[in-house]
């Protein structure tokens, strides 16, 4: 499993990083739209939708992104950079991840209502697309932010495998441990120290604000991972899909991003 996981990552990661750095924003948005559709179909499966419900949900998820992409270039640019779609969607996502999702996880809610599951899926997926498109206006900044989530995930996985003893949330995901969380924090701390020594990417924020941002994204990525694990456990499946060998589905790879990227876009676009 680990070999397959590494092989898939090595095959996809360079292509994804290249897309972040060099694709024009419109093409980047189109690429993410394909991933958004795949993730929406996986969420529909976890929600238990049949064929008609699946396509209705996917249509609702794609509606706002397609509207933004269909605007004339100047209007689309304005909407993506600091327009209402970003502000409203990322604000809604922040409210969900900071207030509702922690309650959902702490109380172990099992939700079967299709309308609630559809609304939750929209909040999980659409703001992530909008945030990733907005943040790619500064490719190096987006890559640095993605690095926080990737390093937190990898460090948590490795630390949990080698040192994990104390369960983080056994009712949700028995494999996740507090040692894994500590590994994520240490990994991101080292990453921030190395990044700040070679780049001034976040210097305008000030060191304290940049450290706080990296800390928030680390915690959010863990929360996103836990939330998706809870939804999968409710659905009775191990992975959200089979698209990525060794990793599962698209949702399995973007779970940390769904919680962290809308917060990053909100903070960097409207609070700095």
Contacts 24+ apart (CB under 8 A), 23-29: 23/136, 25/77, 25/80, 25/133, 25/136, 25/137, 26/69, 26/73, 26/76, 28/132, 28/133, 28/136, 29/65, 29/68, 29/69, 29/80, 29/129, 29/133
The Cα 98–Cα 54 span in angstroms is 28
User: Tens digit of pLDDT for each residue in 42-89?
Assistant: 999 999 999 999 999 999 999 999 988 887 766 656 566 556 667 888
Q: DSSP 3-state assignment of 245?
A: coil
- Token output for 97: 């991840």
Q: Cα–chain-centroid distance for residue 21?
A: 18
pLDDT per residue as tens digits for the range 2-20: 576 676 777 788 899 999 9
Q: Where are the domains of the chain?
A: 2-270
- How high is the pLDDT of residue 157? 86
CA distance 205 to 133: 21
Q: What percent of the chain has pLDDT above 70?
A: 89
Least confident of 10-24, 121-135, 160-174: 160-174
DSSP H stretches of helix in 136-177: 139-163
How far is the first Cα of the chain from the last one, in angstroms, to the nearest whole number? 42
Residue where the block lists tokens 């206006």? 137
**At 1, is the secondary structure helix, strand, or coil?**
coil
What's the CA gap between 44 and 53, in Å, rounded? Answer: 8
pTM score, two decimals? 0.92
From 156, 177, 175, 153, select the one nearest 166 (Cα to Cα). Answer: 177
pLDDT at 140 over 80: yes
- Each residue's pLDDT tens digit, 105-124: 999 899 989 999 999 999 99
**What confidence tens digit (pLDDT) does each residue in 189-211 have?**
999 999 988 888 887 788 888 99
pLDDT of residue 246: 58
Q: Please give the pLDDT value at position 205.
A: 81
């Amino acid at each position: 499993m680990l070999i397959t996981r590494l092989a898939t990552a090595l095959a996809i990661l360079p292509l994804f990083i290249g897309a972040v750095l060099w694709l024009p924003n419109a093409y980047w948005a189109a690429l993410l739209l394909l991933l958004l559709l795949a993730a929406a179909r996986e969420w529909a499966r976890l929600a238990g939708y049949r064929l008609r419900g699946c396509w209705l949900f996917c249509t609702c998820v794609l509606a706002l992104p397609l509207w933004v992409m269909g605007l004339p270039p100047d209007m689309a640019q304005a909407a993506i950079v600091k327009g209402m779609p970003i502000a409203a969607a990322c604000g809604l996502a922040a409210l969900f991840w900071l207030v509702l999702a922690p309650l959902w996880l702490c109380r172990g809610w099992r939700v079967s209502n299709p309308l609630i599951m559809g609304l939750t899926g929209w909040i999980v997926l659409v703001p992530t697309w909008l945030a990733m498109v907005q943040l790619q206006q500064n490719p190096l900044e987006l890559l640095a932010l993605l690095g926080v989530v990737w390093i937190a995930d990898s460090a948590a996985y490795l630390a949990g495998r080698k040192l994990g003893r104390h369960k983080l949330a056994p009712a949700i995901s028995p494999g996740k441990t507090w040692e894994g969380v500590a590994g994520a924090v240490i990994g991101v701390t080292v990453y921030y120290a190395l990044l700040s020594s070679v780049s001034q990417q976040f210097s305008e924020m000030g060191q304290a604000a940049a450290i706080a941002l990296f800390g928030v994204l680390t915690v959010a990525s863990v929360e996103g991972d836990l939330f998706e694990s809870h939804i999968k456990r409710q659905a009775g499946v191990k992975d959200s899909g089979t698209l990525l060998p060794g990793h599962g589905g698209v949702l399995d790879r973007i779970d940390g991003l769904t919680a962290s990227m809308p917060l990053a876009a909100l903070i960097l676009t409207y609070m700095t």
